[in-house]
Every structure is written in structure tokens, then in C-alpha cells.
């Protein structure tokens, strides 16, 4: 007998999710402290272990903190049995965790049954080198990767843990009928699981053997680790060097209906084979395939038909020696005729191995459903499609390649296309649910890409989540895409295409055609984007520097002529100061880069953008402080000026006019149809498509930019209400600031919008900070120049010089003393 103590940590996680190889279950009625798995449940136990009987008994106290802050201190006894005698797959360690608190106590919890496979001195008993042929009798000789190609220098356990035991496998029932059971044990057709997941208990590299749990699940998830012995099998596996397969013999948990005290493992008649195919095809693109079968005969109890499974996560880089076999040559030749190249149609299109062959797309069905998807090239001719990660260096290296036209010819190509729908289907009484595309559409396609015309034509097969009859795949799909030329703006700079069914409309697998569009990426557009970003960064720095110089000149003007300072509109200064403050408050660096966890990727430009970001932030802060200083001086000068009452009246009238005007404009902006402001901005081909719909915040920020453009309006109104002739604003100030406000619109009007603008490249003329369009780019500069001209006239001839005499203020308001030029 050995006495000791230990800390039983993570019990709650073990109970609900399983910790390591321990698998436990919670009875129906459990107090919140135990049932809430977000709270830690810790037991400190001490007791004894009997070596002769293999029993462990420990008593102790625990602690559990509820979410509302209540601390519970349960007292419990832990009993484990068969610890010593359990060393094979057919034996289990069982036990209980019982509460010693009264049933009416808050610390009481119902008895928890414990069930775990043995770990100490475990022996593989049902699989061995001699039993491989017997276990693999149902598997067939197929061309699979040998163990060395699968491991790629890694250990057996390490490779299979990352490749197999972290994957989810979709199930396909080959001959399941309502009159027969379809799963080991008590599986019936009414509640068939759709996937399985494997988890390793222990593994040995030398013998290439592994012990696993196999869990049947009705959901596609590898994160749900709750243990249910009725849907879980336990087994041992061994690698077969002859067939290059991993074979398992699986057993069931028995006698678990009422209590786990007598639970044991038996009925080891279920086999599983797992292989790594060397060849992909249009109908098969899984890196891992397998089969589950039973050794029982059809008349035996527990017999079930064979089950085929395939991996859901298929990355070609996991097995770089994969080959692709083109099987649709005949149909491709008939449905994809070769286009003749005209004499004057010699344009350069992306080469088959270029990064431009991988793209994201917007998909719209004829029923009005929209979604986004991605098209990833798998192979080009007999080679895997290899693309380099986009970076500034790779782009610039690509620029050095010759740009003259050369014939490239046609190439065999294969694709994987994934589509996710945003909107649900619209069904009519005549529609059948089976013909409507699923929420997720997976298509594998192969065909021909003509690099001289930019045409891509393929035959596709889509996977069916809910097979119709014996059909689990639909290969009656035709895909046509037209790429944009590398240089030029044909097709609007977009990849456009169509996905349609070539079946009869009466066929259950028929679906209406899908229109596809995507922003094309090419070298010319990347060159233009980089050049534009460099230019816009320089323009922003120049503009901010000009703002600081203009404000500094106004401070100098106020210092030389302090008697003119009271005649500066406070509303105007507040607008200018807030205009500099808002980029600092609204996270200005979001213009330059995005976090990877949001799925956005911008050019990797090193410290160039960040260095300019720092400069811009510094100049914005300096400009804000200068504006704030002028505002402080103007406000202080009002109290010292003898005309404080009249100036206060003029300022209040200015605010009374501008505030309702600004509020009304904001309401109008929010009421305008958002569709007028929608702009599709697609990210680089290495990222998911991001279609940007303007938000309310975007609209308000743009409207705030419009108010900043008209910053002279409060000063004009102030001059009218005060009939001031004072040169309160220095020409270099209001002319320089006006130039800063109108130049982005002139730039936006002048620059070439035909190239693709990626999200994150809007640095100078940012549509999220102002209204930019052909109309606004004309109206706003005219308005800015008009306001500057009005200020000049008012400072020369008086504030009311622009107001007709019949509408001017009465004489009593005109008697506010004016400041002369002297």
C-alpha cells in the first residue's frame, strides 16, 4: 500500500472535453460549479493505492469559482479501479468521484463516473506484424505514397498527429439501406453521422503503431471533444509497408448503459484502412482516403455496409509528390473549342504559372443570390501550380521580365473552386430544394487555358453534401472565364465568367447559371499601384507640411495685428482643429496596413509606410496644436475687446445658421441610398474577397470631410453678421488651407481610375474621408475657390459686400466699429 497526495487539476475540462487520454462523463444533475466548464474545478486529494488490488482511493477538498464570484469548496472522494491490471485494449480503468457534502448543501454534486484507457505499461495486443494481412484483408492494393514520402523526414507519430489526427473526415455510405444498420453497434439510418475524427491515445515511432479513439459526429467539427462511449470506438493501428496503408482494428465500449463500473472493451470486429493516394483527379482531390468495414457476415448482429471517408482539409503542400490525372479530355475538346487569334488582337495575358491565375470572385445566381468564392489552380499540365507570396520584392523582380508579346499556347490546367453564399435561396412551389446550390459549393475542375486569348474553359464536378440516390458528385458543370490582359483595360480590368449546369432542367442536379466577376491582378496594375502609393504618401506629407506653414503664418499675423484676432470666427477654428484631430482619434494607421487575423493582406513594404505614417501623425498633431493655440488666442481676445457683445452676437448667429445646416446635411447623407456609394474593392489574390459596403461611419466621415472643405463658410457668415472689414485672416492662411482641401479632388479627377485600387492603398484621396466622384471633384474645388474669393472681397469692402443692399443688416448693426488697415 502506497500513500500520497496530488492535485486533481483540470477535472472539469476532463469531465466535459477529455484531458489527454482520460475520458469522463457528467450525470444529468450537476451543480453550476461543475456544470459550467468555463470555471476551473480543482481538487486537492490524498489517500492510498493498493498494489495488490490496483485500487486508488483519495479524499480531499476542492474549489470552484462561479461566474458571479461565489466560491464553492466541495469535499469529495476519488476511487479508481483496475489501475494495475489494465494494460491492454480490452481493459479499462473505471472509477467514481463522489461528493461527501450533504445533498442539500451548495457544495454537493452527483456522483461522476470515470472511464479511461490504461496508459502505464500498455501493450499492443490486437495488432502486430503477423496480423497485418488479416486486418487488411478488406483493403485493396492501390497506388499510395510509401511511408518515407508521407513522413518527409519527420517521425511517424509527429507526422500522423499533424496530418491525420487533426483532420475531419467526411463519410459516404456506400450501401446503406433503411432495412440495415449502417454503423457499428446500434447505428440506424435516421441519425447517421456525417463525419468522423481520430485522436491518438499513444503512439510508438519504432513499431509504427498507434492507439486511437474514433468518434462519429453529426457535425463537421474537430473541436467538440465531448466523450460519448456509444458513438466512440477504440482501436489499435499499424502501418502496412506492402500496401502503404495504415490499418486499424476497432473495438466497442460494452456494458455502459446503466453504470460504467463494469464497462469494458470488446467486439473488436471493425476494421479501418487509411491511405495517401498518389494521384488526384477531377473526382478525387483528398490527400487522405479510407474505408471502414466489419469482419462480420451479413447475417450476424452488428453487420453494416462499408463506409468510405475522405479528409476535409486537403493541402497539396502536405504531400508535394502528388500527381494529377486529367480524365475529361474528350468532353473538354467538345465543349471548349479553340478560339482563333485575330491579327490585331495580340495582347499579353497571364501565363499559366503566374500568380494571376489564382483569384477571388463575386458570384451571383440568376435567383439573385450573392456570394464570394476563391479559385485556386492545382496543376498546370503535369506540374503542381506554384505561386510565390506577393511582396514588394517579388513584384519588382517580376517587372524585369520582358513585356513584349510572345505566343504562349494552350495548357491543361486544374482548379479547385470554393463558393460561400451570403443570401438564402428563393424557392417557389415549382422549385425543389435539391436543385438549389448549397450554402457552400465545392467544385473541382479541369480544362484548357489559352494564354494567347486569356480564355479558361473547364469541366467541373461539385461535391454534394446530401447525396441524391447513389450520386455523391455532380460532374455536369461547365466553367468559362475570361482573364483581363496584363497590359490594357479590356474587360474593364476584371476577370469575368460563368458557371452553369449542362444537364437538362428536369434533372434534379440542374442549377441555374452563376455569373462570376473578379478584379484581375497583373504586373502592370501592381506597378501602377506601387507608384501611386509612393506618390500619395508624398502628397500627404507635403499637404500636412503646407497646413503647418499656413497656420504658422496666421499665428504670426495675429501676433503682429492682435486687434484683428477677435474678428476670427471661432466656429471655423473649431472645424479646422477637429479636422486634424479626427485622423488621430479614428486610428489613422488603418489606412496603411491591416491585421492578418482579419484576413486582409497589403503589400509587404517594410518600414516605408510606417515611417511616413509617423511623419503624418506628427504633422497632424502639430497642426492641431497650432489651430488650438489660435482658437485660444481668439477666444481670449474677445473678452478684452470692447465690441465683445456685438462679436458674440455675430458668432451666435453664425452658429445658429451653420449648426442646423450641418445637421440637415448629415441626415440627408444618411438617407441617401447606400447602393450609390457601394464600391467593390477586392484584395490581393492571396486573401479572401472583401467587398466593401460603406458603413454609417464611412458616410459620416466623408461628410465631415465635406464640412472641412467648406471651412471658410463660418468666417463668411461671421463677416456678414458683424459687417467686418478687418483682415482677420492672412491670405497665405486661407489660400494655403484652401489649396490643401481642393488638391485631393483635383488629384482624384486627374488620376487614372482604370487600374485596380486595392483596399489599403487609399492614402491621399481616401473615399472614406471625403466625397470623391467626377461631380464632387468639380463642385468642391469650385466651392472652395469661391469661398476664398468671398473672404478676399469681404476683407476689402466689408462683410456685407456680397449681400444685396435690400437684404443687408440695419444701420444699428453696421455701427460696430471696424478695424482700419492702419
**Which region among 53-57, 585-589, 603-607, 667-671 has the lowest average model confidence (pLDDT)?**
603-607
Asked if residue 243 and residue 336 are part of one domain, the reply reads no
Report whether 531 contacts 761 (CB < 8 A): no
768: phi then psi, degrees, rounded to nearest 5: -85, 0
Question: Model pTM greater than 0.85?
Answer: no
> What is the structure's pLDDT at 481?
94
The string of pLDDT tens digits covering residues 480-492 is 999 888 765 444 4
Asked if residue 690 and residue 550 are part of one domain, the reply reads yes
Higher-confidence residue: 227 or 436?
Answer: 227
Asked if residue 702 and residue 654 are part of one domain, the reply reads yes
d(CA 82, CA 53): 7
Determine the angle formed by the axes of helices 570-585 and 644-671, rounding to 10 degrees: 40
Higher-confidence residue: 325 or 522?
Answer: 325
Asked if residue 818 belongs to a domain, the reply is no
> What is the structure's pLDDT at 783?
92
> What is the structure's pLDDT at 17?
30
Asked if residue 101 belongs to a domain, the reply is yes
Asked if residue 690 and residue 562 are part of one domain, the reply reads yes
pLDDT of 617 above 60: yes
Strand partners, 373: 361, 419
> What is the structure's pLDDT at 656?
93
The string of pLDDT tens digits covering residues 4-18 is 433 333 333 333 233
Residue 813 binned pLDDT confidence (cut-offs 50, 70, 90):
very low
pLDDT of 164 above 60: yes
Asked if residue 617 belongs to a domain, the reply is yes
Asked if residue 599 belongs to a domain, the reply is no
- Greatest alpha-carbon pair distance for the chain in Å reads 116
Q: How many domains does the chain have?
A: 4
Average pLDDT over residues 575-594: 66
Higher-confidence residue: 292 or 428?
Answer: 292
> What is the structure's pLDDT at 684?
32
Residue 544 binned pLDDT confidence (cut-offs 50, 70, 90):
confident
Asked if residue 698 and residue 550 are part of one domain, the reply reads yes
Q: From the CB of residue 491, how many other CB atoms can be counted at a distance below 10 Å? A: 15
**Most confident listed range (124-133, 217-226, 433-442):** 124-133
Q: From the CB of residue 817, how many other CB atoms can be counted at a distance below 10 Å? A: 9
Cell reading at 50 = 493498493
Average pLDDT over residues 816-822: 44
Asked if residue 236 and residue 363 are part of one domain, the reply reads no
Of 467, 494, 521, which one is at a domain's C-terminal end? 521
Report whether 586 contacts 701 (CB < 8 A): yes
Average pLDDT over residues 93-107: 87
pLDDT of 412 above 60: yes
> What is the structure's pLDDT at 14?
33
**Which region among 382-391, 412-421, 524-533 has the lowest average model confidence (pLDDT)?**
382-391
> What is the structure's pLDDT at 593?
41
Asked if residue 632 and residue 567 are part of one domain, the reply reads yes
Report whether 799 contacts 722 (CB < 8 A): yes
**Most confident listed range (41-55, 312-326, 624-638):** 624-638
Of 284, 311, 338, which one is at a domain's C-terminal end? 311
Asked if residue 137 and residue 59 are part of one domain, the reply reads no
Asked if residue 94 and residue 179 are part of one domain, the reply reads no
User: Which range marks the domain in which residue 516 is found?
Assistant: 326-391+408-423+438-521
> What is the structure's pLDDT at 616?
75
> What is the structure's pLDDT at 154?
83
**Which region among 301-310, 340-349, 570-579, 623-632 has the lowest average model confidence (pLDDT)?**
340-349
The string of pLDDT tens digits covering residues 254-289 is 888 777 878 889 999 999 999 988 888 998 888 899
Asked if residue 432 belongs to a domain, the reply is no
> What is the four-CA torsion angle of 8, 13, 14, 20, rounded to 10 degrees?
-100
Contacts of 577 (CB under 8 A, 6+ apart): 624, 627, 628, 631
pLDDT of 303 above 50: yes
The sign one gets for the Cα dihedral 27, 29, 33, 37 is positive
The string of pLDDT tens digits covering residues 34-90 is 333 345 567 777 877 777 777 888 888 877 776 666 788 888 898 888 877 667 888
Higher-confidence residue: 750 or 22?
Answer: 750
pLDDT of 712 above 90: yes
Long-range contacts of 537-540 (CB under 8 A, 24+ apart): 537/608, 537/609, 537/612, 537/763, 537/764, 539/743, 539/744, 539/747, 539/764, 540/612, 540/616, 540/763, 540/764
Q: What percent of the chain has pLDDT over 70?
A: 70
Q: From the CB of residue 150, how many other CB atoms can be counted at a distance below 10 Å? A: 24
Asked if residue 202 belongs to a domain, the reply is yes
Asked if residue 182 and residue 102 are part of one domain, the reply reads no
**Most confident listed range (120-129, 151-160, 399-408):** 151-160
Rounded to the nearest integer, the mean pLDDT of the chain is 75
Of 116, 145, 175, which one is at a domain's C-terminal end? 116
pLDDT of 185 above 90: no
The string of pLDDT tens digits covering residues 745-784 is 888 877 644 444 444 455 676 665 667 777 888 899 999 9
Asked if residue 817 belongs to a domain, the reply is no
Asked if residue 320 belongs to a domain, the reply is no
**Which region among 24-33, 359-368, 586-595 has the lowest average model confidence (pLDDT)?**
24-33
Residue 233 binned pLDDT confidence (cut-offs 50, 70, 90):
very high
Average pLDDT over residues 712-729: 89
pLDDT of 692 above 50: no
pLDDT of 559 above 80: yes
d(CA 357, CA 456): 10
**Most confident listed range (455-469, 608-622, 659-673):** 659-673
Residue 234 binned pLDDT confidence (cut-offs 50, 70, 90):
very high
pLDDT of 438 above 60: no
Asked if residue 143 and residue 107 are part of one domain, the reply reads no
Asked if residue 197 and residue 173 are part of one domain, the reply reads yes
Higher-confidence residue: 761 or 312?
Answer: 312
d(CA 89, CA 184): 18
Amino acid at each position: 500500500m502506497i500513500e500520497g497526495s496530488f492535485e486533481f487539476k483540470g477535472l472539469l475540462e476532463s469531465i466535459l472535453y477529455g484531458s489527454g487520454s482520460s475520458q469522463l462523463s457528467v450525470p444529468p444533475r450537476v451543480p453550476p460549479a461543475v456544470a459550467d466548464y468555463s470555471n476551473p474545478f480543482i481538487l486537492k486529494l490524498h489517500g492510498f493505492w493498493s498494489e495488490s488490488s490496483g485500487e486508488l482511493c483519495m479524499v480531499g477538498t476542492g474549489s470552484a469559482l462561479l461566474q458571479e464570484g461565489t466560491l464553492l469548496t466541495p469535499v469529495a472522494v476519488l476511487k479508481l479501479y483496475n489501475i494495475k491490471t489494465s494494460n491492454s485494449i480490452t481493459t479499462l480503468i473505471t472509477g467514481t468521484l463522489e461528493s461527501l457534502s450533504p445533498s442539500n448543501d451548495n457544495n454537493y454534486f452527483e456522483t461522476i463516473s470515470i472511464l479511461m484507457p490504461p496508459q502505464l505499461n500498455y501493450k499492443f495486443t490486437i495488432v502486430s506484424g503477423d496480423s497485418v494481412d488479416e486486418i487488411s484483408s478488406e483493403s485493396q492494393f492501390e497506388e499510395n505514397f510509401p511511408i518515407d514520402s508521407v513522413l518527409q523526414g519527420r517521425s511517424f507519430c509527429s507526422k500522423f498527429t499533424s496530418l491525420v489526427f487533426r483532420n475531419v473526415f467526411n463519410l459516404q455510405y456506400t450501401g446503406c439501406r433503411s432495412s440495415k444498420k449502417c454503423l457499428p453497434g446500434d447505428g440506424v439510418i435516421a441519425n447517421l453521422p456525417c463525419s468522423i475524427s481520430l485522436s491518438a491515445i499513444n503512439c510508438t515511432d519504432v513499431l509504427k503503431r498507434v492507439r486511437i479513439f474514433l468518434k462519429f459526429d453529426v457535425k463537421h467539427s474537430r473541436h467538440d471533444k465531448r466523450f460519448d462511449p456509444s458513438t466512440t470506438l477504440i482501436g489499435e493501428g499499424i502501418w502496412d509497408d506492402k500496401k502503404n496503408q495504415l490499418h486499424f482494428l476497432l473495438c466497442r465500449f460494452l456494458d455502459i448503459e446503466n453504470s460504467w463500473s463494469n464497462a469494458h472493451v470488446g467486439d473488436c470486429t471493425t476494421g479501418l484502412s487509411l491511405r495517401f493516394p498518389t494521384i488526384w483527379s477531377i473526382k478525387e482531390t483528398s490527400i487522405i482516403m479510407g474505408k471502414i468495414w466489419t469482419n462480420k457476415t451479413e447475417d450476424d448482429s452488428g453487420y453494416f455496409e462499408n463506409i468510405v471517408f475522405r479528409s476535409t482539409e486537403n493541402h497539396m503542400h502536405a504531400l508535394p509528390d502528388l500527381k494529377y490525372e486529367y480524365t475529361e479530355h474528350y468532353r473538354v475538346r467538345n465543349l471548349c473549342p479553340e478560339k482563333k487569334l485575330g491579327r490585331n488582337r495580340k495582347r499579353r495575358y497571364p501565363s499559366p504559372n503566374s500568380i494571376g491565375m489564382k483569384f477571388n470572385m463575386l458570384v451571383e445566381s440568376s435567383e439573385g443570390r450573392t456570394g464570394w468564392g476563391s479559385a485556386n489552380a492545382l496543376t498546370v499540365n503535369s506540374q503542381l501550380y506554384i505561386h510565390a507570396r506577393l511582396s514588394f520584392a517579388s513584384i519588382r523582380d517580376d517587372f524585369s521580365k520582358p513585356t513584349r508579346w510572345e505566343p504562349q499556347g494552350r495548357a491543361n490546367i486544374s482548379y479547385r473552386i470554393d463558393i460561400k453564399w451570403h443570401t438564402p435561396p428563393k424557392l417557389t412551389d415549382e422549385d425543389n430544394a435539391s436543385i438549389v446550390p448549397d450554402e457552400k459549393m465545392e467544385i473541382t475542375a479541369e480544362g484548357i487555358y489559352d494564354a494567347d486569348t486569356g480564355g479558361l474553359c473547364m469541366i467541373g464536378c461539385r461535391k454534394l453534401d446530401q447525396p441524391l440516390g447513389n450520386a455523391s458528385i455532380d460532374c455536369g458543370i461547365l466553367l468559362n472565364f475570361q482573364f483581363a490582359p496584363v497590359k490594357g483595360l479590356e474587360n474593364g480590368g476584371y476577370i469575368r465568367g460563368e458557371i452553369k449546369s449542362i444537364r437538362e432542367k428536369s434533372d434534379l442536379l440542374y442549377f441555374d447559371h452563376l455569373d462570376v466577376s473578379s478584379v484581375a491582378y497583373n504586373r502592370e496594375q501592381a506597378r501602377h499601384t506601387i507608384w501611386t502609393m509612393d506618390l500619395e504618401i508624398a502628397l500627404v506629407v507635403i499637404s500636412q507640411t503646407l497646413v503647418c506653414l499656413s497656420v504658422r503664418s496666421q499665428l504670426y499675423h495675429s501676433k503682429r495685428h492682435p486687434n484683428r484676432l477677435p474678428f476670427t470666427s471661432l466656429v471655423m477654428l473649431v472645424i479646422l482643429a477637429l479636422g486634424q484631430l479626427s485622423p488621430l482619434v479614428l486610428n489613422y494607421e488603418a489606412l496603411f496596413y491591416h491585421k492578418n487575423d482579419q484576413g486582409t493582406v497589403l503589400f509587404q513594404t517594410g518600414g516605408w509606410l510606417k515611417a511616413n505614417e509617423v511623419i503624418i501623425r506628427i504633422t497632424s498633431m502639430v497642426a492641431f496644436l497650432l489651430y488650438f493655440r489660435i482658437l485660444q488666442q481668439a477666444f481670449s481676445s474677445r473678452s478684452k475687446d470692447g465690441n465683445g457683445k456685438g462679436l458674440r452676437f455675430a458668432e451666435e448667429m453664425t452658429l445658429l445658421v451653420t449648426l442646423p445646416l450641418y445637421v440637415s446635411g448629415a441626415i440627408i447623407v444618411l438617407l441617401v441610398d447606400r447602393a450609390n456609394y457601394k464600391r467593390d474593392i477586392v484584395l490581393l489574390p492571396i486573401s479572401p474577397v472583401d467587398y466593401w459596403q460603406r458603413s454609417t461611419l464611412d458616410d459620416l466621415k466623408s461628410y465631415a470631410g465635406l464640412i472641412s472643405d467648406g471651412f471658410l463658410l463660418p468666417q463668411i457668415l461671421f463677416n456678414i453678421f458683424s459687417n467686418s472689414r478687418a483682415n482677420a485672416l492672412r491670405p497665405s492662411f486661407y489660400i494655403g488651407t484652401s489649396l490643401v482641401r481642393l488638391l485631393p479632388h483635383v488629384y482624384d479627377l486627374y488620376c487614372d481610375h482604370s487600374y485596380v485600387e486595392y483596399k489599403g492603398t487609399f492614402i491621399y484621396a481616401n473615399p472614406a474621408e471625403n466625397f470623391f466622384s467626377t461631380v464632387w471633384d468639380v463642385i468642391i474645388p469650385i466651392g472652395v475657390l469661391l469661398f476664398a474669393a468671398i473672404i478676399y472681397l469681404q476683407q476689402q469692402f466689408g462683410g456685407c459686400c456680397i449681400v444685396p443692399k435690400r437684404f443687408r443688416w440695419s444701420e444699428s448693426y453696421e455701427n460696430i466699429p471696424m478695424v482700419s488697415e492702419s
